Chain A
Amino acid sequence: MARYLLRRTAFLLGSLLAAAGLLFLLLRMLPGDPANALLSVGATPEQIAAARRQIGSDRPLAEQFWTWLTGLARLDFGTSFVSRLPVGPEISARLAVTVPLTLLSFALAVAVAVPVGFVAAWRSDRWYGAALNAISQLGIAVPVFWIGMLLVTVFALRLRLLPAGGFPRDDWAEPGRALTALALPVITIALVMSASLIRYVRSATLDVLGSDYLRTARALGSSFAGAMWRHGLRNAAVPVISILGIELATTFLGAVVVESVFTLPGLGTMLVEGIAEHDYPVIQGVLVVSTFGVLVIGFAADLVQRLVDPRLRAHLGRGRR
């Protein structure tokens, strides 16, 4: 285990560094000097030079990267071109919306998908099993922002049960109000995420239901529930857990889009605003934090999977994944 942990951690650090480099290069390779964001149309060459000096885009590329990277290590994300405020504190303020939104949506999606996916497999020959399957097929094809629009129309504009958007100014000072503001966004993301999760749970359960070991256990006198509990659950959990990491990352991306539907002050809206204003430090900062988040989720998911599946633990010594 220790050796695997070491390898996987080295890989995580390497990919963090590579991702930061890739991001930096991509943004610099694309046409247009970032200093343009500071200038109005028809700026004089002196103004352009001053702007380039101010944000450092006149320095060699390697030096710019090093400055940015060492800043990142100190959690210093630079200063916004537009607001002139440091980007770091702004990102952590936005995370106070995006992280709860992502985690609540994910938890709700898993809570819905596990029982529904199980029933869809267990009763696949009944009409409701087939219906659940068809609904999940539909769910993976629906754009998440459209679901958000429809839910707002019904529950906020027509029935006036929940707020249509926005987030309390004092953040989580009143948890009740903050949770109410997140209710519709969470339901929106969870609906779409649970659709794809249901399909994985259903497929994993079908494999277990058709397995020889389950039939053997039943033949030896175990009840269905007992055999499922002792043998089925852990076997069905393995493939599902292996995709949970990817699903959590997808949930986060869903949050990025859905924040715009509900005008929530999260990381997603910050990125969209930054792009609209060509605010490079903001764009870089948000993308770095998001990519790091996705990489760390992948790391955690791999570890959990090794812990759950003893067959993988046996192979740990041989590195090839």
Chain B
Amino acid sequence: MRGRLTFAAGCALVGLVLAVALVSLVWLPYDPADTTGGRLAPPGGAHLLGTDKLGRDLLTQLMAGARTALIAGIGSVLVGGLLGVTGGLLAGFATRWLDDALSAALDIVIAFPTLLLAMLVAAAREASLGSVVLAIGLGMSAIVARLTRVLVKRVLAQDYITAARTSGTSWPRIVAEHVLPNIWPMLLVNLALQLGLAVLAEAALSYLGLGPPPPNASWGRLLQEAQATVLTAPTGAIAPGVLLVVLVVGTNLVADGLRDLADPTRRRSR
């Protein structure tokens, strides 16, 4: 019961940001590049949340930023999930020697922090939204792969796998019929958590000036730009942060809810 409630609350928060991002595709109060609003106009009037120090409408920037945050989060999870699950399945099924080699490689990539990897990509050329997504997704894929490997090993040790093998089922069918259905709930929980982390990573990169460049609006960059004027125009320094927290709390709640729903034995203690 608690799992369902947590899951619903998380979906509501994520849905809120998703709705804002979808609306921003068809309607924005102003053009995101429009700098005619006057510097640091206070909230109210023509600009509901005021303008930033470049004269851009803050509400417009926030709405367009929702798009960037979601693309970064979902894109990274797609890249990381696809690579990670494939790699993890390979390692899980591999012979001992290949498995050892893959595991060692994964440990090294995991030791190499995602944020540093993304900064490295930004170092080489002007970052684009695509390169940020790729960098965060690559860093994430090692973590997903390690988890997938453990889950696969656990399933393969079951008697019903031996039974399937002896009755002549092929490995691809075993993956499709026995392995994936058994591991996807835990994978989904982890991917939901990773989505939140990817959103935070994009924000941190943008804050450092290494994220997707304009015209992509980014909550992290908005915060960086608002830092110098936090006393005179506090809205710009608060609103993007609140939205980041809403989105990440949302994805974390979705993950917690999924975990409780997927594993009834955990429901009581946590």
| Complex interface: chain B residues within 8 A of A15 (CB) | 104, 107-108, 111
> 1/0 per residue A272-299: CB within 8 Å of B?
1011101010010001001100110010
A143 at the interface (CB under 8 A from B): yes
Contact partner of A274 (CB less than 8 A), chosen from B123, B207, B270, is B123
**A257 contacts B204, C-beta separation under 8 Å:** yes
Q: Please give the distance in Å from A63's CB to the nearest CB on chain B.
A: 21
| Complex interface: chain A residues within 8 A of B113 (CB) | 249, 253, 290-291, 294
A304-318 interface with B by 8 A CB criterion: none
Of the 9-residue stretches B73-81, B169-177, B223-231, which lies at the interface with chain A? B223-231
Whether A141 touches B107, Cβ cut-off 8 Å, given contacts A253-B113, A275-B123, is no
**A271 contacts B125, C-beta separation under 8 Å:** no
**A143 contacts B269, C-beta separation under 8 Å:** no
**A257 contacts B269, C-beta separation under 8 Å:** no
**B125 contacts A19, C-beta separation under 8 Å:** no
A176 at the interface (CB under 8 A from B): no
> How far apart sit A285 and B115, CA to CA, in the bound complex (Å)?
16
**A11 contacts B111, C-beta separation under 8 Å:** no
A138 at the interface (CB under 8 A from B): yes
B241 at the interface (CB under 8 A from A): yes
> How far apart sit A203 and B125, CA to CA, in the bound complex (Å)?
43
Q: How many residues of A contact B (CB 8 A)?
A: 51
B105-150 interface with A by 8 A CB criterion: 105, 107-109, 111-113, 115-117, 119-125
Q: Give the interface residue-count category, chain B.
A: 35 or more
> How far apart sit A275 and B196, CA to CA, in the bound complex (Å)?
26
**B108 contacts A23, C-beta separation under 8 Å:** no
**B108 contacts A18, C-beta separation under 8 Å:** yes
**B269 contacts A206, C-beta separation under 8 Å:** yes
**A157 contacts B207, C-beta separation under 8 Å:** no
B164 at the interface (CB under 8 A from A): no
Contact partner of A30 (CB less than 8 A), chosen from B111, B125, B209, B244, is B125
| Complex interface: chain A residues within 8 A of B269 (CB) | 206-207, 210
> How far apart sit A157 and B234, CA to CA, in the bound complex (Å)?
12
> 1/0 per residue B7-35: CB within 8 Å of A?
00000000000000000000000000000
A140 at the interface (CB under 8 A from B): yes
**A145 contacts B111, C-beta separation under 8 Å:** no
B186 at the interface (CB under 8 A from A): no
**A295 contacts B111, C-beta separation under 8 Å:** yes
Q: Please give the distance in Å from B16's CB to the nearest CB on chain A.
A: 14
| Complex interface: chain A residues within 8 A of B227 (CB) | 149, 261
**B108 contacts A19, C-beta separation under 8 Å:** yes
| Complex interface: chain B residues within 8 A of A260 (CB) | 207-208
A153 at the interface (CB under 8 A from B): yes
Q: Please give the distance in Å from B152's CB to the nearest CB on chain A.
A: 15
**A272 contacts B230, C-beta separation under 8 Å:** no
B220 at the interface (CB under 8 A from A): yes
B183 at the interface (CB under 8 A from A): no
| Complex interface: chain A residues within 8 A of B244 (CB) | 141-143, 146
**A275 contacts B210, C-beta separation under 8 Å:** yes
> How far apart sit A137 and B208, CA to CA, in the bound complex (Å)?
25
Report which residue of B105, B204, B244 has the largest number of chain A beta carbons within 10 angstroms of its beta carbon.
B204
Q: Please give the distance in Å from B53's CB to the nearest CB on chain A.
A: 15
A29, closest chain B residue (CB): B124
A8-24 interface with B by 8 A CB criterion: 11, 14-15, 18-19, 22-23
A49 at the interface (CB under 8 A from B): no
**A19 contacts B112, C-beta separation under 8 Å:** yes
A46-60 interface with B by 8 A CB criterion: none
Q: Please give the distance in Å from B254's CB to the nearest CB on chain A.
A: 12
Q: Please give the distance in Å from B66's CB to the nearest CB on chain A.
A: 15
**A145 contacts B107, C-beta separation under 8 Å:** no
A228 at the interface (CB under 8 A from B): no
B167-202 interface with A by 8 A CB criterion: 196, 200
A31 at the interface (CB under 8 A from B): yes
**A290 contacts B116, C-beta separation under 8 Å:** yes
> How far apart sit A283 and B122, CA to CA, in the bound complex (Å)?
11
**A272 contacts B209, C-beta separation under 8 Å:** yes
* B interface residues with partner A (beta carbon < 8 Å): 104-105, 107-109, 111-113, 115-117, 119-125, 196, 200, 203-204, 207-210, 220, 223, 227, 230-231, 234, 237, 241, 244-245, 248-249, 252-253, 269-270
> What are some 16 contacts across the A-B interface (CB < 8 A)?
A15-B104, A27-B123, A31-B125, A138-B249, A145-B207, A145-B223, A146-B223, A149-B227, A150-B241, A253-B113, A256-B115, A256-B116, A260-B208, A287-B116, A287-B120, A291-B111
List 8 A-B pairs, minimum CB-CB distance, nearest first.
A30-B124, A141-B248, A146-B241, A141-B249, A275-B123, A15-B108, A295-B111, A153-B230
* A interface residues with partner B (beta carbon < 8 Å): 11, 14-15, 18-19, 22-23, 26-27, 30-32, 137-138, 140-146, 149-150, 152-153, 157-158, 203, 206-207, 210, 249, 253, 256-257, 260-261, 271-272, 274-276, 278, 280, 283, 287, 290-291, 294-295, 298
Could you list 20 further interchain pairs (A-B, Cβ under 8 angstroms) beyond the known A22-B108, A272-B209, A291-B112? A14-B104, A31-B124, A31-B125, A32-B124, A140-B248, A141-B248, A142-B248, A145-B203, A145-B207, A145-B220, A149-B230, A153-B237, A157-B230, A203-B270, A207-B269, A256-B115, A271-B119, A275-B122, A280-B123, A287-B116
